[in-house]
Amino acid sequence: MLARLVEVASGQAFDAYLQQNVFAPLAMRDTLSAPTSAIPAQPTQLLAQGHVMAYGVALRLPELSGFLGGSGGLASTAADLAQYLVAQGNQGVQSDRRVLSAFGTELMQTLPAGVAGSYAMGWTTSVVQGTAAVEHNGVLSTFYADAVLLPASGYGFVLL
């Protein structure tokens, strides 16, 4: 529903809006919006083949068909996601380009007051061995990604 809200407010298709306002400003040249599972299944040079684990064996399988629109339909690379993490860890700025306000970045990464749980607005908050962390993951039938920021240290990492 939020993707549709972006389309109505911007007058652009969601994937075009992401390309113009997020991917291009962050130099995320190898990231794409995939509204259906058919798009990530198409062969590309940088997109890995998906796998599932069965009895300890990784089986190469195509992604199951389905609708992935909105935030569930992004395919990216470690290098591109590093660009995104730099902006998230630097109050919305990456290489002197602002893509999100400092307020918006903080809002995304901060658990709302009075709310039980750990989910902020796009990021899950936690404390790991005394260190605050914010993370966001993505799961399809044959792919998994996890992006983690450790705000106190300024470090972050992506697992694909």
pLDDT tens-digit profile of 39-51? 554 445 666 778 8
State how far the Cα of 91 lies from the Cα of 101, in Å rounded to an integer.
Answer: 7
Domains annotated for the chain, with CATH where assigned, are 2-36+65-159 (3.40.710.10)
pLDDT in tens, 62-101: 777 776 667 677 888 889 999 999 999 999 998 888 888 9
Instruction: Identify the band that residue 148 occupies on the pLDDT scale cut at 50, 70 and 90.
Output: very high
Burial profile 18-28: b = 16 or more Cβ within 10 angstroms, e = fewer? bbeebbebbeb
Residues 52-68, mean pLDDT to the nearest whole number? 83
Q: pTM of the entire structure? A: 0.81
pLDDT at 157: 93
Tokens at residue 95, please? 């290489």
Tokens at residue 67, please? 């609708």
Closest alpha carbon to 78 in 146, 25, 140, 22: 146
